[in-house]
Amino acid sequence: MALVASNRASAGVVARAAQDRVPCAVFEATPEGFADLLAKFQAAGVQAVFLAGFLKPLPVAWIAHFSGKIWNLHPSLLPKFGGVGMYGMHVHRAVVAAGAVETGITLHEVTERYDEGPLCFQARAALLPSDTPELVAEKIHALEMEHVPVELERLLRARFLGA
């Protein structure tokens, strides 16, 4: 069963879920909100979690419950440009400021250490000295659209089907 969850009712994924008739839960990122959401996930039979654009640390109980079955998408080639506060345009600005010659996306397992879980997949994009943070964001978005659906399916098959 698929279930979309967001701690922001205004998130684009909430409207997209409604449009596609996918069940959606909007919750508060509080201990009580996380506990309620975990109960909803369990009732819906959710067995794995994929985070995209979620910026809050997850409770330890969540990480333990979904151990090895919870993944995050990060907009850089971890371990570079990761950690607290490194998301979205903050990452892209840091990449440009560092004069990086490449960037990319990383899918990694979520652990108790922010952006430090085992890497599952990375895709790269070359950068030009003239690239702006906005151009970097476009390159990252293109990588996400191309690779994330395929790689998530691969991760899920490997985890649940042994394929």
Q: Which residues are catalytic?
A: 74
Question: What gap in Å lies between CA 117 and CA 65, rounded to an integer?
Answer: 16
- Are the C-beta atoms of 116 and 71 separated by less than 8 Å? no
Integer CA distances (angstroms), 80 to 32, 63, 106, in order: 33, 23, 10
Q: How many CA atoms lie within 13 A of 149 on its CB side?
A: 4
DSSP string, 71-117: EEEESS-TTTT-STT--HHHHHHHHHHTT-SEEEEEEEE--SSTT-S
Residues contacting residue 113 through CB under 8 Å, at least 6 positions apart:
none
Q: Which residues face 30 on adjacent strands?
A: none
